[in-house]
Amino acid sequence: MSSQEGPDIERESLLELFPGRAALQGDELVIGGVAASALAEQFDTPALIIDEEALRARAQRYREGFAQRWPNSRVIWASKSLPCTALYRVMHEQGLGIDVAGGGELAMALRAGADPSTFVLHGNAKSDRELAMAVEAGVGTVVIDNFDDIDRLERLVRGEQAVLVRVLPSVSADTHDAISTGHANSKFGLSMSDARRAIDRLRASDTLRLDGLHFHVGSQILDTAPFTRAIEAVAQLGDFAVYDLGGGLGARYTYDMRVPSIEEYLDALVGAAREHLPSSARLLIEPGRSMVAEAAMTLYRVVTVKRNAQRSFVAVDGGMGDNLEVSLYGQAFDATLANRVGRGDSYALVGRHCESGDQLIESVELRDPVVGDLVAVAVTGAYCLTMANNYNGALRPPIIMVRDGHAREVLRRETYDDLLRRDCDVF
Ligand SMILES: Cc1ncc(COP(=O)(O)O)c(C=O)c1O
C-alpha of residue 218 to centroid of ligand 1, in Å: 7
CA 219 to ligand 1: nearest atom: 10
**pLDDT tens per residue, range 177-208:** 766 666 778 899 999 999 999 999 999 999 99
Q: Clarify whether residues 286 and 341 are in a common domain.
A: no
Residue 30 included in any domain: yes
| Total domain count, the chain | 2
Q: Clarify whether residues 64 and 131 are in a common domain.
A: yes
- Asked if the model's pLDDT at residue 23 lies above 60, the reply is yes
CATH number at residue 344: 2.40.37.10
pTM for the complete prediction?
A: 0.96
- Asked if the model's pLDDT at residue 216 lies above 90, the reply is yes
In testing the pocket of ligand 1, which one of 76, 216, 379 has its CB within 8 Å of the most ligand atoms?
Answer: 216
Q: Are 153 and 202 in contact (CB under 8 A)?
A: no
In testing the pocket of ligand 1, which one of 146, 286, 291 has its CB within 8 Å of the most ligand atoms?
Answer: 286
Atom 4, ligand 1: residue with shortest CA distance? 247
**pLDDT tens per residue, range 375-424:** 999 999 999 999 999 999 999 999 999 999 999 999 999 999 999 999 99
CA 166 to ligand 1: nearest atom: 1
Round to whole Å and give the CA distance between 229 and 172.
10
Q: Are 214 and 167 in contact (CB under 8 A)?
A: yes
DSSP run (H or E) holding 347: strand 345-350
C-alpha of residue 221 to centroid of ligand 1, in Å: 11
Q: Once rounded to an integer, what is the mean pLDDT over residues 314-341?
A: 97
Q: Clarify whether residues 68 and 192 are in a common domain.
A: yes
**pLDDT tens per residue, range 109-159:** 999 999 999 999 999 999 999 999 999 999 999 999 999 999 999 999 999
- Asked if the model's pLDDT at residue 175 lies above 80, the reply is no
**pLDDT tens per residue, range 37-91:** 999 999 999 999 999 999 999 999 999 999 999 999 999 999 999 999 999 999 9
Q: Clarify whether residues 398 and 287 are in a common domain.
A: no
11 pLDDT tier (thresholds 50, 70, 90): confident
In testing the pocket of ligand 1, which one of 74, 79, 80 has its CB within 8 Å of the most ligand atoms?
Answer: 80
Q: Once rounded to an integer, what is the mean pLDDT over residues 366-383?
A: 98
Task: Note the pLDDT of residue 179.
Answer: 64
C-alpha of residue 299 to centroid of ligand 1, in Å: 26
Round to whole Å and give the CA distance between 169 and 234.
6
Round to whole Å and give the CA distance between 415 and 409.
15
Residue 274 included in any domain: yes
Q: Coil, strand, or helix at residue 210? A: strand
End residue of a domain, out of 292, 327, 354 = 292
- Catalytically active residues, by annotation: 354
Domain that holds residue 301: 8-51+294-421
**pLDDT tens per residue, range 286-310:** 999 999 999 999 999 999 999 988 8
Cα–Cα nearest to 122, from 18, 246, 4, 228: 246
Q: Clarify whether residues 146 and 226 are in a common domain.
A: yes
Q: Are 69 and 266 in contact (CB under 8 A)?
A: yes
Task: Note the pLDDT of residue 306.
Answer: 96
Q: Clarify whether residues 280 and 369 are in a common domain.
A: no
Q: Once rounded to an integer, what is the mean pLDDT over residues 240-249?
A: 98
Residues with CB under 6 A from ligand 1: 78, 80-81, 99, 122, 216, 219, 246-249, 286-290
Task: Note the pLDDT of residue 1.
Answer: 35
CATH number at residue 61: 3.20.20.10
Residue 2 included in any domain: no
CA 179 to ligand 1: nearest atom: 14
**pLDDT tens per residue, range 245-281:** 999 999 999 999 999 999 999 999 999 999 999 999 9
CA 221 to ligand 1: nearest atom: 10
- Asked if the model's pLDDT at residue 30 lies above 90, the reply is yes
Q: Give the CA distances from residue 22 to residues 54, 215, 366, 378, in Å, rounded to whole numbers and listed in that order.
A: 10, 36, 18, 11
222 pLDDT tier (thresholds 50, 70, 90): very high
